[in-house]
Amino acid sequence: MTRASPAADCAPVLIVAGPVATLRFSRPAAHNRIDPDDLAVLSAHLETVRADAALRLLVITGSGRRTFSSGFTVDAIADRLDRSFEDLLDAVERFPLPTLCALNGSVYGGATDLALCCDFRIGVRGSRMFMPAARFGLHYYPGGLRRYVTALGAAQAKRLFMTAQAIDADEMLRIGFLTELVPATGLRAKIDEYANAVLACEPSVVATMKRQIDAIAGGDAKAAAAREDYERSLRSPLLRQRLAALRPKDG
């Protein structure tokens, strides 16, 4: 079922096909920029996906082949100094479903942080990334700095923020910004590969492991030692059913 279809230049749209929801930025001629009015639209789309128990994966991507997104508009950075963009990214980072950022092209500014909010990031050859905050004279907000350091390490975070240098797709993969790098023609197939892999897993276990991994990555010592979800899964009939399905059949 499709709830919306992309237009040439409009607010982000939500597309639902079976158990996979896709949020698509839809301003390809403007590098899929994110306008202030888009934040409420994006938040509403996230709530729609969260409320649908049939959905198992959220994909975030852009329209066209040039740019995934150039992030928040320059005018918005200058004129809108509230937490609305930060809050949206925090909601993506905490989203209960697995999230896959399909970077259909290059990525700039705050959209690089949006990508880091996702569990998986697939990029395409020929693309690049660029974090220009220091050139603007903008000290980046704490959540974005934390995500960069957690995902890439302090040395790479310093390199990207303190020099504002652009890097190419191979380097994005090398430093861990990308999970995988594919030809542009292979992006759709790679998205489907991840979707099928996620769908083959037990959703309740995927959710609890995502939550614990994120907590461990955030330095939560209690989460690193927590055994409740592990022990609950050991007692689960679902585990026995799945293990029984793996056993060779007699005859």
The tens digit of pLDDT for each residue in 142-162 reads 999 999 999 999 999 999 999
- pLDDT surpasses 70 at 101: yes
Lowest mean pLDDT among 33-42, 68-77, 100-109: 68-77
pLDDT reported for residue 242: 83
CA gap 213, 194 in Å, rounded: 19
Model pLDDT for residues 214-249, shown as the tens digit of each residue: 999 999 999 889 999 989 998 998 888 888 888 777
pLDDT reported for residue 1: 36
CA gap 234, 110 in Å, rounded: 41
pLDDT reported for residue 146: 97
- pLDDT surpasses 70 at 250: no
- pLDDT surpasses 50 at 3: no
Lowest mean pLDDT among 117-121, 187-191, 244-248: 244-248
Return the HEC string of the chain: CCCCCCCCCEEEEEEEECCEEEEEEECHHHCCCECCCHHHHHHHHHHHHHHCCCCCEEEEEECCCCEEECCECHHHHHHCCCCHHHHHHHHHHCCCCCEEEECCCEEECHHHHHHHCCCEEEEECCCEEECCHHHHCCCCCHHHHHHHHHHHCHHHHHHHHHHCCCEEHHHHHHCCCCCEEECHHHHHHHHHHHHHHHHCCCHHHHHHHHHHHHHHHCCCHHHHHCCHHHHHHHHCHHHHHHHHHHCCCCC
What is the pTM (predicted TM-score) of this model? 0.92
